[in-house]
A = this chain, B = another copy of it.
Amino acid sequence: MPIVRTTLIRGYPEEVRVRLAERLTDAVAATIKAPLDAVTVAFDEVEATNYMRGRVPRTPGEALRPASDIVLQFLRLMEDRDLEAARRHLHPDFTMVFPGPSHGTALTKLEELVAFAAPRYRFVRKTIETVDESYRGTVTTVFVTGTLNGERPDGGPFEGARFIDRFEVEAERIRRQDVWNDLSLTLASTPESRG
């Protein structure tokens, strides 16, 4: 039943408007027990020349790049060990936490992660199953799940290790990454390549 009318200054690309309309629909559908079909979202696009705030005409803001796009690109760059390009997506205060016995293993530099991974695997590839975004104020939290496969340090293969990554993204920069996975269980259960 709810009808959501949003006034936008004209100029946002269609894909941004579709994304916004979906998200507004989702916000309503998550809150009100109504059939999805009863949720209507419409945009009133106002010409920039027809919009004034504080007695000053305004132009449309830019769209934010979807946080999940940024995260997926970061993950790809990390798989490829292109640390320099990956680093461009990071906030100056970036921290990451990887599996570890007590409160995990906190790292702040991508190089540390490379070192952390070395005894665990030669390389790893992610098969992604779900990507979810959660919004609160100016922070979007992105969750990526799937399975890892790759090569053990001794060259033996492994696969099917479940993982989930949690990313906090603000202003198109990743502030924090938390990683959980079944890698140790998987590696423990995989016969060493020659052992």
Q: Are A180 and B162 in contact (CB under 8 A)?
A: yes
Counting CB contacts under 8 A, is A143 at the interface?
yes
Interface residues of A in 153-186 (CB under 8 A from B): 159-164, 166, 171, 178, 180-182, 184-186
When distances are taken between beta carbons in the complex, the residues of chain B under 8 Å from A30 are 23, 64, 67, 133, 135, 140
In the assembled complex, the Cα of A20 lies from the Cα of B67 at a distance in Å of 22
Q: Are B17 and A103 in contact (CB under 8 A)?
A: no
Q: How many residues from A make CB contacts under 8 Å with B?
A: 96
Counting CB contacts under 8 A, is A36 at the interface?
yes
Q: Are A16 and B31 in contact (CB under 8 A)?
A: yes
In the assembled complex, the Cα of A139 lies from the Cα of B127 at a distance in Å of 23
Name which residue of chain B comes closest to A67, CB basis.
B30
Q: Are B100 and A182 in contact (CB under 8 A)?
A: yes
When distances are taken between beta carbons in the complex, the residues of chain B under 8 Å from A147 are 103
Binds B, one of A50-58, A85-93, A108-116: A50-58
Cβ contact of A99, chosen from B19, B24, B102, B182, cutoff 8 A: B182
Tell which of A36, A40, A188 has the most Cβ of chain B within 10 Å.
A40
Known interface pairs A9-B1, A61-B34; A103-B160 also in contact (CB < 8 Å): yes
